[in-house]
Each structure stands twice: as structure tokens, then as C-alpha cells.
Structure 1
Amino acid sequence: MTILFHIHVGLTISLMLLSGASMAAQWHDVADIRAAAEQVLGGNGVHAEATSLDQRLRLAVCAEPLVANPGRAAPGATRVTVRVACPAPNWSLYVPVRLSRQQSVVVLTRAVNRGHVITATDVEVITRPARSGYPVLRDAAHAVGQRLRRPAAGGTELTPSWLETPAVIRRGQRVILVARSGGLEIRTNGEAMSDGGTGQQIQVRNLSSGRVVSARVRNGDIVDVAF
């Protein structure tokens, strides 16, 4: 009697498990519905996340690939409704999707002090959610060689306001003024009227003529003037 009882109980439990598995096989996987809604909107720097999908959702298994169509949304919208439909058997539902835009940004790899001149090992490019309304550096090369205006911790996202071009020429310094026109080059001595970093425009006094001209800093000794 005891043996028969255990056999009966075991068979009952097995049948319940098989029945549950069979029931589950009748319903379409919610994860597949979520993926269909997200894939139609994601990519190109946009991260899509389907929300408000109940795991207990019961829809018949679709015999064909799901079809997802996003509704109309204003440019820059962060929430869009996607219609996910099954051709056979015929059913559909609307899935809310939250959007966040990603962008590449330059961040510090370590803490650095004010006045530090950035090197290639000090920065890296990572992807973060985009924040509207403020400029960011996307290319590490734009930070290398620049000087920090204030101390910063590792992971700090750099913007142009964090950086300044270090001066390679100082006010009062003697420099070489170079003027070019075609294959002709003229050099003369000058005096810097202000500090300047590589690529910056500064005022320089021509020591021969006494004339003050605008010139672009080439390096610590030479400035170029339009001829």
C-alpha cells in the first residue's frame, strides 16, 4: 500500500510538471516581445529599453517572426510606443519603450592637479548617456597637450571649459616673425605682446618696422603672419 501510494504521488507530480511545461509552451516568450520592440528603435547611439511588460503576459506562440512598428514621436523623444504584432495567430500589443542616447566622451583615467598638461595616458574615450545642453570632447587628441584649469578626479568627463592651451611664448619674448607668399619666405625679429600657446593668435611687434601685427604661434620661437 505504501509503495503504491508513493508511485501514485510521483505520477501525479510528474503529470503536473508536464502539464505546466505544456501550458508554458503555448505562450509566446515575453523576452522575445521585448526584444522586438527594442530592436526596432535601438542602434546608432540610441539605447532602447522596453518597459511595463508583465512577465505573466499570455499570448499564443507566434508561428512567424514578430513585426514591430514604432509610433510617431517628436525628435529627441525619450519615450515611444511600439506596436508588436504576430501575423499568425493574429494578435498585437503596444509596448512602451524608453530611449536614451549614447555618446563618446573623453574622461580622465586618473586624478590630476590644476595646471597639469594632459598626456595620451591621462585620457580615454568611453560611451555614456548623452546629456543635452553642454559641449563635450569626443576625441582624446583634442585634450592631449592641453592644460587643466582646475584639479579633477579620475573619470571626470572633460569639456572645453576644463582646458586651456599652455603658453609656449611669453609676453616680451623675442620671436621670429615668418611671412610666406607662394615660395617666398621673409623672416624678421619680433617681440610678443602677450602670452600664447601653439596655434593661438597673438599680437607681435615687428622690431624692424615697429608695426604690431597678428601672428599665429607655431612653436616656442616662431610665429607666422599672413603676408
Structure 2
Amino acid sequence: MAAFLVADGDSGGGGPRPLTTDEANRLAITRFRNYQAQGRAVTITVPGTAGGLTVTGSVDYRRNVGYGVVHGTGRGTSSDGLIRWTPTSVQLRPMTDAPAHAPASPPRSGWYERPLLSSGSALDTSLSIVLGLGGDRPDNAELLPQNGAAWWGRERVDGRWVDIMAGPSSPDRSGTAGNVRYWIGSDGTMYRVRVSVGSQPEPVVIDFDTHTYVPVEPLPGTTPAR
């Protein structure tokens, strides 16, 4: 089971207060809710000093795989195309005129594969973060407040009121609580996550249910990157 996310950087926000028992319980089950749903539609906004990237797609939290389309924002189209990723690899299919949404059935050719980088790439870090937002069991609600998780406020997301909660410190890195924010509904459903990544000027933002979820189909085949 993946641990709660922790990353460097100030994620901003209002003033914190301790979690209530209900809030701690909802934070504890929010990643498990994604796993229960099997898959979620996501939009990932990745910052960059030379322009950002937006990934629009789906994540299968049972199989731990994502699939979607990448568009550059404030930059050229050289990074545009289809993308599929796992915890260890990234498959890319460049496209000069990438669609708004990835086709439900991936094209059979034109794919290139490379390892998912553990550092040095805001995109790869963001893809890894998204996969980590699912867990096959709830977290320990009693430990979350002890490790610095807190309530930061309420906000409307797509017409619904949600609570903004800061995640706990990493088990091996004290003092890192609050660097990740979760927007969580009344039943523990995760609607948004914001996390700072390395030295990027803006946080990565992951929005759920921005479009209709399309199940992630197996990729027909890949060509190793040269």
C-alpha cells in the first residue's frame, strides 16, 4: 500500500486546526475510495518554467496504470501526444494534432517506451503521484492527526462543498506535514490534490471527475526508446 504523499514546498492556504474524528476518518479512506471505484477520470496540471503540461485521461487504481493525452501549455507542441504509464514505465505516442481526449482504444503503433524517472522530471513525478492516490485499504485514522494532518478550510468544487485537508508528515521525514492538500467530500471521495514538486514555481494540481471516466485498455505493443 502506498503511503500518503509528502513533497517539498509551501502549498499555501489559510490557517490550520486539528482534524475532527469525522475528518480524520474521511482522510484515512480517501485513497481507498479511489481503489474501490477501480478508476477515476483525471486532469493533471504540471507546472514548468518553460511552460506547463496538462494530462487528461483515466487512472485504473486496481491495475495501477494511467492513460491519456498530453498537451503543452504556454509552450510548443513537441510534447503533445498520447501517454500511458505504470509505476516503472512511460509509453509515449507523439502527435502533431493531439485530440482533447485520448481515444478509448489506444492506437496499435507509434508507441515508444522509457523508464519512469524517479527524479528530475516534473511530469514523471506527477504521474507517480497520481498512481499513489489509490490504496487497497484505509489508512490509520488515529495516526493522521498525530503526524500533522490538519483541516484548512472548505471550498466549492464543481458545485459541491468539500473540505481541504493537509496530509501528514512522511514516516521518515518529520516536519513535512501540510505540503500536500486534499479536497475531500463528505463521503471521503477525493476531488482534488495539490502538491509542490521540487523547485517548480507552481504546485502540481490533480483534478478528478473533470470528464467521463473511460476504462484503461491494454496497450497493443510498444517500441523501446533508442
Q: TM-score, normalised by structure 2?
A: 0.20
Larger helix share, 1 or 2 = 1
Q: Higher RCO, 1 or 2 (CA under 8 Å, sep at least 6)?
A: 2
